[in-house]
Structure 1
Amino acid sequence: MAEAAARAEGVESVRYRVAGELPETGRVEADAVMRSEPAAVSMKVSTGGKGAVPVRFVDDVMYVGKAADGKKWLRADAGVWGGLTVDNNSYGALPRQLESSPLVQSTLLTGAKDVREVGSETVDGTRTTHYRGTVTFDGLRAAGKAAQGEAARERLTASLDQFMGLRVSDTLTMDLWIDGDDHAKRFRWQAQSDGGPLDLTITFLDIDRPVTIEAPPADAQEELGS
């Protein structure tokens, strides 16, 4: 898992799928593509059983489609996605749990002390090894202090921030599927919160394929609140 976490740092782009239940939101589904530098994402997200809405973050500006066809967009800046929890801002367009990069979120299990191997499983046609463990705020904080090397400490600090951003109870159960190239292929969180259960699965479909994420045409934009 440490190798998978280290490899996540070098990923430049990824296409992924999200499905599950979120506290206070209910059912959520999303298809997304993202790049790491500079951080940008394009996704279609459906929450609470509603129709899918296109959302983009490009150059620290958020764009939300007024309809599924993406012909008209609301613009809000500064909209920030993919950084640490305190930096993100989707103006409520995305659930908090989707505001951060899944590459960072997939490293949370490196702070667990009870990780065990569940077995070999096929995920989206890829053979993987399935791991499971529980993560706590205190465990992540202790792991960060004990980590050897600046990169490991920074990774665990980011994971701690993402844990806080989930807004769940102290214990998070996490499943992680790692492929033969030591890349995270899928992860699943399960936890409880005051707003209800969290049960979210993110599956990585393509890694480091060429992606293009652009702002909508200027004549299709209007300012949020205008």
Structure 2
Amino acid sequence: MGRAGNGTRVCALGVAGVLAGTVLVGCGDGGDSGDDAQGSSAKTSAGAQEQGTRAVRSAYDRTAEEDTAKVRLKVRTSAQGTSQTANGQGAVDLDDGDSVMTLTMQGQQIEQRVVDRILYQKMPKGQAPGGKPWIKIDLGKVAAQQGSGDQSMSDPAQSAAYAKAITDKDVTEKGTDTIDGVKTTHYRVLVDVAELPNGDTLRRQVGPTLPMDVWLDDEGRMRRQQIDMTVKSPAATQRSSTDASSAPEKVTVRTVMDFTDFGTEVEADAPPAGQVTDMTGKALEQGKRQS
């Protein structure tokens, strides 16, 4: 597979992780609140902070209570002065993490399904290994290897626990925005990386905190989530250990995930077994190299 194909797969796997985590752990764009969003001035009073903290903590449960939603997202990966953007749209079951999505990157499309914590991807023609149209990766096994446990891939209550660890000083109300015609309140949240699955490894890669932005509607539901994340490329780190003059490559990932049409129907079915190549072993090997 060529360079562009590898980039597509990296973005796609990142998207799968977000969806399998049922909305709640993503990577987003901290600087772009959308073409249709107009921000108001930030509020900084102690009362507003307390109210914002309560709103953010409860948003995860209130969103998950809707059971399903349509999802639209944008993932931009930048490194060494170049960037690639993947766009996706589909639907997610907020209760069990199942999802269906179509991803588009550099004119190529990937059909993606997450069923019972198994990721299936139908790669562009000629790019799938094994001569079969679909690949699959057991996300539960990947999560277990990373020390995040299987529950974090599908249990909204487990993911909501991350938000409940946020204190008043971690939440700032930034104003009001309109997203897809819906009035929302915008909050900036500093997420303690130690509270996330595989927190020790993440802390080494991205630092102690991640800035996350969320937009909540009048019913307290998530309408947009985004985080900026800059990580040190594992491959570049390995090169720099043998070449002192080679600086580690920084990779910046920006994702914006929007939720609409709560209660929409989600039909996520596994493709026929004979059309699928299991890539879980290779994913686990790659995880060991990056740890």
TM-score range, shorter chain: 0.5 to 0.7
Aligned to 2:247: none
Does the C-alpha gap of structure 1 residues 50 and 193 become closer, same or farther in structure 2, counting only changes over 3 Å?
A: farther
Residue 271 of structure 2 is matched in structure 1 by: 216
Answer whether contact 1:39 1:82 (CA < 8 A) is retained. Answer: no
What is the CA distance between 1:83 and its match in structure 2? 7.3
User: Residues 75, 199 of structure 1: CA spacing in aligned structure 2 closer, same or farther, 3 A cutoff?
Assistant: closer
Query: CA, structure 1 residues 136+222, in 2 after alignment: closer, same or farther (shift >3 Å)?
Result: closer
Matched, 1:5 2:68: no
**Partner in structure 2 of residue 74 of structure 1:** 134
Greater strand percent: which structure?
1
Gaps of 5+ in 1: 89-98, 141-159
**Aligned-residue CA RMSD in angstroms?**
3.7
Alignment counterpart, residue 110 of structure 2, candidates 53, 67, 72: 53
Displacement, 1:16?
0.7
> Does 2:225 correspond to 1:187?
yes
Amino-acid identity (%):
22
User: Residue 16 of structure 1 is aligned with which of 63, 66, 71?
Assistant: 71
Q: 1:165 to 1:4 in 2, by over 3 A?
A: farther
One-letter amino acid matched to 1:202: M
Deviation at 1:56, TM superposition (A): 1.3
| More helix, by proportion | 2
Answer whether contact 1:18 1:202 (CA < 8 A) is retained.
yes
**Shift of residue 175, structure 1, vs aligned partner:** 1.1
- Greater Rg over alpha carbons, structure: 2
Residue in 2 that maps onto 1:126: 182
Unaligned runs of 5+ in 2: 1-55, 126-131, 233-249, 280-291
Q: Give the structure 2 partner of residue 29 of structure 1.
A: 87
Report the CA distance between 1:40 and its aligned residue.
Answer: 1.6
TM-score norm. by structure 2 comes to 0.53
Q: How does the TM-score come out when normalised to structure 1?
A: 0.66
Alpha-carbon distance between aligned partners in 2 of 1:199 and 1:163, rounded to the nearest angstrom:
19
Deviation of the 1:38 alpha carbon: 4.2
Of 143, 148, 161, the residue aligned with 2:197 is 161
Quote the offset at 1:30 in angstroms: 1.7
Question: How many residues get paired?
Answer: 190
